[in-house]
Chain A
Amino acid sequence: MRRLLMLFTEPFAFLGRGTIQYVGSMGASAIFLVLALLKAFRKKQLPKIVQQLYYIGARSTLIILLVGLFTGMVLGLQSYHALVQFGAQGALGTLVALSLVRELGPVLTAIMITARAGSATTAEIGSLRISEQIDALDTMRVDPLRYLISPRITASIISFPLLTAVFDIIGILGGYISGVLLLGANAGTYLYRVQASVEMKDITDGFIKAIVFAVIVSTVCCFEGYFTHMRTDSHGAKAVGLSTTSAVVLSCVLILIADYVVTSILI
């Protein structure tokens, strides 16, 4: 009888456990984020933030340039062939610029930084955790949140919008290369449409998204690495690997969910 009862209750218990765990980790990561942000304003933080700006921001520029260029080019290519069917190839500049500035720029920039810097952040912090280097910081009275986490989150919040701007500009240039130089659309029309259709609100909305994504990506990646030792499914190097994977997957999923939510609020 008891077993039969458990058969009915177990799915609910499972659901309940999962929900409690999820809400708990959401709360923990929110506290983690707030504490890290508060510590950004302590003294001696600037050199660490600059160092992370170089790593997360400057060293991601090349990949952002490449992805932005080809995204713009393929967007120009596909849009031109679609628009030409309606004789609307003059709207190519509008389509490329608005797609990039409003959506593709922030989203693809965030995903690319997640892949390049976010994964490395999780792996690095996870390795520090399992080799007791974070405990060593604690014993030296060096606050790990201040020393390791705060500069990374702050640098991400600064880097993401800047890299998004780079992505947007190079993407529009990519659209110009494929649409104008390769397929023969009118150069003046393309540039005029870009200038005329992109408003300040589009740019600020894109930047707001970039900042939201920066907070999500940096918090998720740092949190996963920082609590690698708390994983129940694995330990040691394997735990670092799994934390890195889940940080990247979770960041990408959350970027897309947040994109929808932010867009629906801003639109």
Chain B
Amino acid sequence: MEPFPLIEFKNVTKRFDGRTVLDNVNLRIYEGQITTIIGLSGAGKSVLLKHIIGLIQPDEGTVCLRGKPLSGVRKKEIADTVKQMSYMFQGNALFDSMTVYENIALPLQETTDLSREEIDRRVRTRIEQTELGDSADKFPSELSGGMQKRAALARALVTDPRIVLFDEPTSGQDPVRKNAILSMIAQYQRRFGFTAILVSHEIPDVYFISNRILALYDRTIVFQGAPEDLEKFDHPFMDEVIHSLEGLQEELTGLHSRRQFKVLYQSQMKRKALDQFYVLVVFTLEGLDAIASGMGHEAAQEAIRCMGLAIEKHFGPIGGVSTRLGINEFITMLPYSDMAEAEAILNNFAADIQREDIVNILNGARRRGGEGQCVEIGIKAGLAQGRPTVEVGPVMNAAVEQQKEIARLRCIPDW
């Protein structure tokens, strides 16, 4: 039986100046999950999100929270309902005349009767959790884009909401930062247990953190379900939106998208006998921060691209399925190898990468970021064995724990 939805849209229609933005939208969002609303820019995703928090009222239809309609009830009831929600704006909407600390403290100061000490304790806790300790007394304009996002997230979480709405949390960020922000949302969602509703067009990155996808296309929701099910969805939305956006992502690494990786992983697991093994290899490119800060983000992206090409070159021909796991992490699944064989393949890879590929990675970064810069980079790799009956998470963690350095290179300034 399907669980009871936390939020439900029933035939919601919204028009602005006679132009229909949402047309007969029906959707369901479930508690404790990360739900992502995807669609192209200007499709009405933010309008949809603003209906949930009550910033916009529908012209027709109903928005229900735990089965109760948000419209047509008393103002106090709406306020009590909305009390459980926080909203993180696309542009963060931090108060630019207040420090980070004051921004985070504001909702507690204005909406609760907590003592000054208690407010201070709660704000300091959130500041620590979002790693903003050194920036508490800075103004938003003095922070980087990523730090501003963290400050906005800390403010959204300080009232312990049950539902957090994120309006394009990665907009305007480079690919490295995008991954960092999405990882941060997933990490905090697990830690605090809130229901997260994201609006994004960062396809396929959002699949990896989402439990459920809602596809907004042509003013209505055309798909709602798990990210894996989207692969089987036969609709013009797939060609016009998903594949075009995925193409952009694959250009960077040359690897499979995360969604493709997930689908391939699942199909491989279905084909395998329950006692058969597979091997996961997790790679980490060290020194990416130094490249980004010393040579710029374009250089960092080029280093990521070169690393992806090197992995695909070695593991692709032998049936390896690879994708990017985090900012500087990659994962390869070797579905047909056992541990001994995988170790031998990895040793060959290590020899090749130390001899040739690591130089290509650093040269690629230097070409984009300036010849005069000198940084040190390293590559770590770790293996772990899994079976179809075992969850992939622990296998990945085991591979990360097994990581050891397989290559290192320090450039010479006049190189």
Which residue numbers of A lie inside 8 Å of B, CB to CB? 44, 128, 131-133, 135-136, 138-142, 147
Q: Is the CB of B110 within 8 A of A139?
A: no
Q: Is the CB of A44 within 8 A of B53?
A: no
New contact pairs (7) apart from A140-B86, A140-B111, CB-CB < 8 Å: A44-B110, A132-B89, A133-B93, A133-B96, A139-B82, A140-B159, A142-B107
Q: Is the CB of B55 within 8 A of A135?
A: yes
Q: Judge if B95 is at the interface, Cβ distance under 8 Å.
A: yes
Q: Is the CB of B53 within 8 A of A139?
A: yes
Tell me the total A-B contact number using a CB cutoff of 8 A.
45
Q: Is the CB of B55 within 8 A of A139?
A: yes
Inside 8 A of B83's CB, which chain A residues have their CB? 141
Name A132's contact: one of B53, B82, B91, B106 (CB within 8 Å): B91
Inside 8 A of A131's CB, which chain B residues have their CB? 91, 93, 96
Q: How large is the interface on B (under 10, 10 to 19, 20 to 34, 35 or more residues)?
A: 20 to 34
**Closest chain B residue, CB of each to CB of A141:** B111
Q: Is the CB of A142 within 8 A of B87?
A: no
Name B79's contact: one of A128, A132, A141, A147 (CB within 8 Å): A141
Mark each residue of chain B from 32 to 73: 1 if its CB lies under 8 Å from any CB of chain A, else 0: 000000000000000000000101000000000000000000
Inside 8 A of A44's CB, which chain B residues have their CB? 109-110
Q: Judge if B400 is at the interface, Cβ distance under 8 Å.
A: no
B91 to chain A: closest CB distance in Å? 6
Q: Complex: how many Å from CA A142 to CA B87?
A: 13
Q: Judge if B342 is at the interface, Cβ distance under 8 Å.
A: no
Q: Judge if B85 is at the interface, Cβ distance under 8 Å.
A: yes
**Closest chain B residue, CB of each to CB of A43:** B113
B46 to chain A: closest CB distance in Å? 11
Inside 8 A of B93's CB, which chain A residues have their CB? 131-133, 135-136
Inside 8 A of B82's CB, which chain A residues have their CB? 139, 141
**Of A131, A135, A136, A141, which is in contact with the most chain B CB atoms at under 10 Å from its CB?**
A136
Inside 8 A of B155's CB, which chain A residues have their CB? 140
Could you show 19 A-B contacts with beta carbons less than 8 Å apart? A44-B110, A132-B93, A133-B96, A135-B55, A135-B93, A136-B89, A136-B93, A138-B55, A139-B82, A139-B86, A140-B86, A140-B106, A140-B107, A140-B110, A140-B111, A140-B155, A140-B159, A141-B111, A142-B106
Inside 8 A of A136's CB, which chain B residues have their CB? 87, 89, 93-95
Inside 8 A of A135's CB, which chain B residues have their CB? 55, 89, 93
Q: Which of B80-112 contact A (CB under 8 A)?
A: 82-83, 85-87, 89, 91, 93-96, 106-107, 109-111
**Closest chain B residue, CB of each to CB of A127:** B96
Inside 8 A of A138's CB, which chain B residues have their CB? 55
Q: Complex: how many Å from CA A139 to CA B110?
A: 13
**Closest chain B residue, CB of each to CB of A142:** B110
**Closest chain B residue, CB of each to CB of A140:** B107
Inside 8 A of A140's CB, which chain B residues have their CB? 86, 106-107, 110-111, 155, 159
Inside 8 A of B79's CB, which chain A residues have their CB? 141
Inside 8 A of A147's CB, which chain B residues have their CB? 110
Q: Complex: how many Å from CA A55 to CA B94?
A: 22
Q: Complex: how many Å from CA A139 to CA B155?
A: 11
B70 to chain A: closest CB distance in Å? 14
A2 to chain B: closest CB distance in Å? 23
Inside 8 A of A141's CB, which chain B residues have their CB? 79, 82-83, 107, 111
Inside 8 A of B95's CB, which chain A residues have their CB? 128, 133, 136
Inside 8 A of A142's CB, which chain B residues have their CB? 106-107, 110-111
Q: Complex: how many Å from CA A128 to CA B106?
A: 15
Mark each residue of chain B from 243 to 269: 1 if its CB lies under 8 Å from any CB of chain A, else 0: 000000000000000000000000000
Q: Which of B128-159 contact A (CB under 8 A)?
A: 155, 159
Q: Complex: how many Å from CA A157 to CA B109?
A: 26
Q: Which of B146-188 contact A (CB under 8 A)?
A: 155, 159
A88 to chain B: closest CB distance in Å? 55
A56 to chain B: closest CB distance in Å? 16
B155 to chain A: closest CB distance in Å? 8
**Closest chain A residue, CB of each to CB of B82:** A141
Inside 8 A of B85's CB, which chain A residues have their CB? 139
Q: Complex: how many Å from CA A136 to CA B107?
A: 10
Inside 8 A of A133's CB, which chain B residues have their CB? 93-96
A132 to chain B: closest CB distance in Å? 4
